Structure 1
């Protein structure tokens, strides 16, 4: 395989806090996306997503060096066990705690290319494109919650000041002048605050079959989950990316241009794109983002 271009950017501008990861080895190429924290406890430093990213990258490096012929099921078990094993090292919280409290787990998605098998494995909602054709990976639960956040954001955005305060009160949020100003200038995302209880409940759908269930590496992944596998051939052009690129282009420059356009036209991501979070002042983007393009 020949790497054409690759990059990983943290939304905070600090590489040590980037919850995305990029792995390029002799056999495997992968993008890892540590899940944004919804934890109530402060167990993982600097964040659950960073810890998950580091563990999965280390497992990928181990596989690349010692198990280059690993198949999709073997990779699933390897990556998931790297998170599960970490639960044995948390003071005052036995493994059973994480089984009962999924919102406190480490969690990550990944998309992996195996050169030995000429396959792409889509573990969760990371992105992939083959010869310009994107492979759909959006979770149904994210669509639903993105729509709810957009609805709240649109309602609050077009309300007059008195009505806006009533809405904030109904959502259980403060109605003081400072809060209202934060909502008005985009420093406070009312829509995301409205769906945050549901985002925490969402973790209970992880690795469960059903209409709203979804795959994620969290140490408790279903080893028989129907993971999408995409076969590729010699000469195929492949893009792997995290969902920090809501619109995926054939090149990095095109993907960056579409992201910049979105930030200019819909910074809260409640109109053109219904997402569970938007661009916030002071951050470089709405999420960490990673992109790699290569030819088989």
Structure 2
């Protein structure tokens, strides 16, 4: 593998606050996205998302080159479990999602809402079903505020739409790694067992020579970093409240850098 280009952008503008990360070893490449905290709890002085991302990144660096998908997920889960206090309530449990490329197996492992692209695939990233529900509710609240006369600037400073969906965002931790949640279940690395049916493994075709891994801070994964950045910036300019083309569970930060941390890793394989 060879890194063609790599970028990690923190939504706050401060790299030390980013909950995204990218890693490339001799055997694996990955983008890891720490989950946004809903509880206010910190771990070792950093947000839960950044803590989980860091632990998972370090664990990827220790993976056996021949590990298969199930073995890798088990190892990453064990690393995070060992780093966390016992008996954490679900809402306080830090987590991360990841997309990992195994050079030995020529496979992509997707644990949660992160993405990848190679020639022939769609550019658009998917949202997990529960986020589609929450995003629609947030958009409805924001649009009602706009009709009532609240300005875009006021809503950027005080996101009443996100406030409205926060109870769901906190409760959806019960859907994490829980097949009983049905189509609302989702995979996350949080120290608890990740059901294999919630993880996807994709064999990369032999004719593919370039591969892109990206966090969901890029709603569309394009062939180059410049193209992907241009597209997300166009979308942010058109939809700063993130209720239309960028419909999501949160809007742009006051710093204006983004609605989420974003990572992009382009590889020659």
Q: In the aligned structure 2, how far is the partner of 1:75 from the partner of 1:119?
A: 12
Residue 230 of structure 1: CA displacement?
1.0
Q: Does 1:144 align with 2:133?
A: yes
Q: In the aligned structure 1, how far is the partner of 2:16 from the partner of 2:159?
A: 25
- Alignment map for 1:167-178 (pairs within 5 Å): none
* Corresponding residue of 1:123: 111
- Alignment map for 1:158-197 (pairs within 5 Å): 158-160=147-149, 184=154, 186-197=156-167
- Alignment map for 1:59-208 (pairs within 5 Å): 59-63=59-63, 67-88=64-85, 95-96=86-87, 98=88, 101-134=89-122, 137-160=126-149, 184=154, 186-208=156-178
Q: In the aligned structure 2, how far is the partner of 1:215 from the partner of 1:116?
A: 24
CA RMSD in angstroms comes to 1.8
Q: In the aligned structure 1, how far is the partner of 2:66 from the partner of 2:167?
A: 42
Q: Is the 8 A contact 1:242 1:289 kept in 2?
A: yes
Q: Counterpart of 1:116 in 2: which secondary structure?
A: coil
Residue 43 to residue 292, structure 1, CA distance change in 2 (3 Å): closer
Q: Where do 5+ consecutive residues of structure 1 fail to align?
A: 89-94, 165-180
Residue 25 to residue 42, structure 1, CA distance change in 2 (3 Å): closer
Q: Does 1:264 align with 2:237?
A: yes
Pick aligned residue for 1:241 from 192, 214, 232: 214
Residue 204 to residue 188, structure 1, CA distance change in 2 (3 Å): same
What's the TM-score once normalised by structure 1's chain length?
A: 0.84
Q: In the aligned structure 2, how far is the partner of 1:216 from the partner of 1:189?
A: 26
Q: Counterpart of 1:156 in 2: which secondary structure?
A: helix
Q: Is the 8 A contact 1:77 1:223 kept in 2?
A: no
Q: Is the 8 A contact 1:142 1:275 kept in 2?
A: yes
- Alignment map for 1:209-248 (pairs within 5 Å): 209=179, 210-236=182-208, 237-248=210-221
Q: Is the 8 A contact 2:125 2:221 kept in 1?
A: no
What's the TM-score once normalised by structure 2's chain length?
A: 0.93
Q: Deviations over 1:139-159 (max 9, x none)?
A: 100111011101111111111
* Corresponding residue of 1:285: 258
Aligned residues: 265
Q: Deviations over 1:61-80 (max 9, x none)?
A: 111xxx10010001100111
Residue 7 of structure 1: CA displacement?
1.0
Q: Deviations over 1:66-111 (max 9, x none)?
A: x1001000110011111111124xxxxxx12x1xx10101100000
Q: Where do 5+ consecutive residues of structure 2 fail to align?
A: none
Q: In the aligned structure 1, how far is the partner of 2:4 from the partner of 2:237?
A: 28
Q: Moved runs in structure 1, 4+ residues, more than 4 A? A: none
* Corresponding residue of 2:9: 9
Q: In the aligned structure 2, how far is the partner of 1:226 from the partner of 1:205?
A: 11
Q: Counterpart of 2:22 in 1: which secondary structure?
A: strand
Q: Is the 8 A contact 1:182 1:188 kept in 2?
A: no
Q: In the aligned structure 2, how far is the partner of 1:282 from the partner of 1:3?
A: 29
Q: Is the 8 A contact 1:149 1:276 kept in 2?
A: yes
Residue 232 of structure 1: CA displacement?
1.0
Q: Is the 8 A contact 1:109 1:216 kept in 2?
A: yes
